[in-house]
């Protein structure tokens, strides 16, 4: 499926696309005919869309950021790209390769990071690991929070979107260790991206600690959040699942790790945090 930005390059014309929808509002034309207006969105941006047929209205009242398959026609009105919807249907399933494309740009406080996230995930080529990481991002409750929350409240990357920023910064550091065996290298990339994912349950996008965060440390939640996906990875690649668990949980204060990549992940995590603190000083 094409993204919305690509559709604009080929306007006007008919199309079918899988997108997110949000902000549905009902209006009336000058002659009193009802129509719906809303935004269609993906990682490339948002486009206003219109439904003129009343028989489609009920299908459009969905929760914000619902996944839909839209058939329609593009047009340009007053130099603005717009979409007239001919058909719209909720999507119960999306192809894993479309997961990142379907992240809503407006939900990311630092939208310039989304192309970096796309590029980072393109580094993961092992089929089982790629399925693991995309399956995690296919869970909206995980993915949306991962885009939004800070990495901390006072220590480092302490701003909305800071967790994504910190994770990608540390990811770029692990990327430098290309001399490692390819499987361990990719496990390290996945581990550093998700090493702080427990913070999606301990910190909020409005820079508050959650009730759970008051009683449980974020690193205790990382494996809990990833448990269903690790279980599936275990079936596809048992050795990789063990190494990933080690890389996600090993600390610098621990004994020498079973897997070298675990120490690299922990060091890059600390280095990214330290560099951000130095910038703020």
pLDDT given for residue 1 in this prediction: 56
Tell which residue, 70, 64, 66, 32, has the closest CA to residue 51.
Answer: 70
Domain ranges of the chain: 4-90, 108-280
**Fold adopted by 108-280:** Hypothetical protein af1432 (1.10.3210)
- What burial class does residue 91 get, using C-beta atoms within 10 Å of its C-beta: 0-12 exposed, 13-18 middle, 19+ buried? middle
Q: What is the pLDDT of residues 249-272, one digit of tens each?
A: 988 767 778 899 999 999 999 999
pLDDT given for residue 10 in this prediction: 63
Q: Distance between CA 128 and CA 131 in Å, rounded? A: 5
- What is the assigned CATH class of domain 4-90? mainly beta
The DSSP-derived string for 84-129 is: EEEEEEE-S---GGGTTTTS-GGG-SSGGGHHHHHHHHTT---HHH
pLDDT given for residue 134 in this prediction: 95
Is the CB of residue 267 less than 8 Å from the CB of residue 252? yes
pLDDT given for residue 255 in this prediction: 79
Within 8 A by CB and 6+ apart from 137, the residues are 99, 100, 103, 121, 143, 146
Helices 219-236 & 127-137 angle (0-180, nearest 10) = 130
Mean pLDDT by 10 residues, the chain (281 residues): 69 86 94 93 93 90 94 85 92 84 95 95 96 96 96 92 97 96 97 96 94 91 96 97 95 80 94 87 65
pLDDT given for residue 13 in this prediction: 82
Q: What is the pLDDT of residues 71-94, one digit of tens each?
A: 999 888 877 889 999 999 998 777
Domains 4-90 and 108-280 share a fold: no
pLDDT given for residue 268 in this prediction: 96
Q: What is the pLDDT of residues 180-202, one digit of tens each?
A: 999 999 999 999 999 999 999 99
Determine what percent of the chain is predicted with pLDDT higher than 70. 97
Three-state DSSP at 245 gives helix
Tell which residue, 74, 77, 14, 76, has the closest CA to residue 40.
Answer: 74
């Amino acid at each position: 499926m094409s993204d919305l930005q690509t559709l604009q390059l080929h306007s006007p014309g008919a199309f079918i696309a899988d997108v997110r929808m949000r902000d549905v509002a009902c209006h009336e034309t000058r002659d009193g005919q009802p129509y719906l207006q809303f935004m269609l969105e993906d990682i490339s941006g948002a486009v206003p869309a219109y439904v003129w047929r009343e028989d489609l209205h009920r299908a459009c009242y969905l929760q914000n950021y619902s996944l839909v398959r839209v058939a329609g026609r593009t047009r340009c009105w007053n130099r603005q790209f717009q979409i007239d919807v001919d058909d719209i249907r909720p999507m119960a399933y999306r192809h894993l390769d479309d997961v990142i494309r379907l992240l809503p740009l407006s939900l990311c406080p630092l939208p310039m990071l989304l192309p970096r996230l796309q590029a980072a995930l393109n580094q993961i080529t092992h089929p089982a690991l790629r399925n693991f990481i995309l399956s995690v991002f296919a869970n909206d409750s995980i993915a949306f929070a991962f885009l939004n929350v800070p990495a901390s409240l006072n220590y480092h990357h302490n701003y909305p979107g800071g967790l994504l920023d910190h994770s990608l910064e540390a990811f770029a550091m692990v990327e430098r260790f290309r001399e490692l065996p390819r499987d361990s290298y990719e496990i390290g990339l996945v581990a550093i991206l998700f090493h702080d994912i427990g913070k999606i349950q301990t910190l909020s996008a409005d820079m508050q600690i959650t009730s759970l965060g008051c009683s449980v440390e974020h690193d205790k939640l990382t494996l809990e959040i990833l448990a269903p996906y690790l279980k599936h990875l275990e079936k596809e690649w048992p050795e990789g699942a063990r190494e990933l668990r080690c890389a996600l949980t090993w600390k610098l204060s621990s004994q020498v790790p079973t897997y070298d990549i675990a120490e690299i992940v922990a060091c890059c995590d600390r280095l990214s945090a330290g560099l951000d603190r130095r910038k703020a000083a």
